[in-house]
Chains A and B, each alone.
Chain A
């Protein structure tokens, strides 16, 4: 599936909650719980994404021309967002990752996590994922 197709799938998935934010967040928390954890040895300082109130470790590798992300966080809501980002961006080509607009975040009602004051680092997370993809593709 392309990034856009996955984004649409997620939008649909969140649509059933409508204005029910509790439902949305419960779903997000469930997604966080289902996130396959990063290997313990990857939880290193240099894999920490700066600018997050909670810790996010992100490991990136290149497999058969595609970027594979694994990540973890010490906060469950953040982990839910990490899970969404991985679902959308992992196993894609670096070029597509760098160019992804990621409009789905707005559409599923998690816009507030993109605001700079949130200090939760979704913005930093996206930036790091794109930078890592770019760096790996040029190796």
Chain B
């Protein structure tokens, strides 16, 4: 049984007050709050288990290594991958950079992204293009925020070497038809990277079923600590992807003349990893599994539907991608008001939303707006909070008019 009140008790921060009012946290798209299970896992690690991994023969190091590698297993199962395909990164951005720099594409290659991408899925490719005379091609969106997938074929040329797209738009919440994109890409023999940062917290992800080449996401957007992310890559890429970072722990033998690197994912994890965060990620996944990702999806969809209905009742509010075929994200503006004004007043009412361009300036350009107000929900948000939010929004609109 999904019991939101019980879940809320697992998140210590939710009992906090902001400006004398109970915190209503609707900035989950930026980062989620952490359950006690995750916080405890970090405390336990440093109190009882701390040692460097993959190195020492001593007991602590062995135990820490086991924990770390168990986390890899837990993570793999979570997205239905094999653990040999899981690279721990610093986050989604790091994962995309590792792939962009590791593909070793020939100079002049073309890269396809979409108009709704987060800057993290634009800049690494743009940088590569600048340095290698490449070309960034952009799949446009419709005004309802969906991709113009029918235009994908036209963008593809013999020089197209990778397609990199978000599974779920961080700004709009729109769920992209990545299966269709992957199908077209496969037909044309082009690898695909899926930015799953905004997907994994909200819906069941099965990388085998998806059939992409790379899938990246962050821990902190799915109840885990910051500073850890996952790069999943299809096995065939493991020996092919070039290293963009090198260092300790990635090798078989090193001499000044020649170094033989380790096989598999370890060679992509140079230096001491963020052990505590990896262990925290496993704790977060286990917590999500106990609740059930399908239950979380269902609950969040209820919130999305209710909030969308309430906002649509307000004539001053304009929602971007105003439909329900989305993850639990609503981006909107109040007519005649700047998103900054709305966000500032909502904060005074104790409600945390995100305002601005959400690191998607090209998308803002499409809608010809400086930014939006974004409310993004998580498993611990409630219908009552949505009520509080819409009431506070009403008051804010009145103040601003």
Chain A positions near chain B (C-beta within 8 angstroms)? 21-22, 25-26, 29, 53-55, 74-78, 119-120
Contact = CB atoms under 8 A, between A and B. Distances in A.
Given A25-B399, A53-B371, A77 B344 contact: yes
Nearest to B345: A25
Given A54-B338, A120-B344, A76 B400 contact: yes
B340 A75 contact: yes
10 contacts: A22-B348, A53-B355, A53-B356, A54-B338, A54-B341, A55-B370, A75-B338, A77-B340, A77-B344, A78-B341
A119 B356 contact: yes
A55 B339 CA distance: 12
Nearest to B395: A22
Interface residues of B, number: 16
The binding surface of chain B is classed by DSSP as helix
Given A21-B348, A53-B356, A120-B344, A74 B370 contact: yes
Nearest to A74: B338
A97 B304 CA distance: 49
A95 B338 CA distance: 34
A78 B341 CA distance: 8
A54 B340 contact: yes
B19 interface: yes
Interface string B263-304: 000000000000000000000000000000000000000000
Contacts of B355: 53
- Kindly name the residue among A25, A78, A119 whose own CB sees the greatest number of chain B CB atoms within 10 A: A25
B337 interface: yes
Given A54-B340, A76-B338, A120-B344, A22 B370 contact: no
- Kindly name the residue among A26, A75, A120 whose own CB sees the greatest number of chain B CB atoms within 10 A: A75
Given A53-B356, A53-B371, A74-B370, A22 B399 contact: yes
A54 B399 CA distance: 18
A115 B356 CA distance: 17
Contacts of B395: 22
Given A54-B338, A54-B370, A74-B370, 7 more contacts: A22-B348, A22-B395, A22-B399, A54-B340, A54-B341, A74-B338, A76-B337
Interface string B334-360: 000111110011001000000110000
A53 B358 CA distance: 11
- Kindly name the residue among B344, B355, B400 whose own CB sees the greatest number of chain A CB atoms within 10 A: B344
B217 to A, nearest CB: 25
Contacts of B348: 21-22, 25
A26 B345 CA distance: 10
Given A74-B370, A75-B341, A120-B344, A21 B399 contact: no
Interface in B365-379: 370-371
A110 B387 CA distance: 27
A52 to B, nearest CB: 8
Contacts of A53: 339-340, 355-356, 371
A29 B401 CA distance: 9
A26 B340 contact: no
A75 B373 CA distance: 13
Nearest to A120: B340
B370 A29 contact: no
A22 B341 CA distance: 13
Contacts of A76: 337-338, 341, 400
Closest 9 CB pairs of A and B: A75-B338, A75-B340, A54-B340, A53-B340, A77-B341, A75-B341, A53-B356, A77-B344, A54-B338
B341 A21 contact: no
Interface in B291-343: 337-341
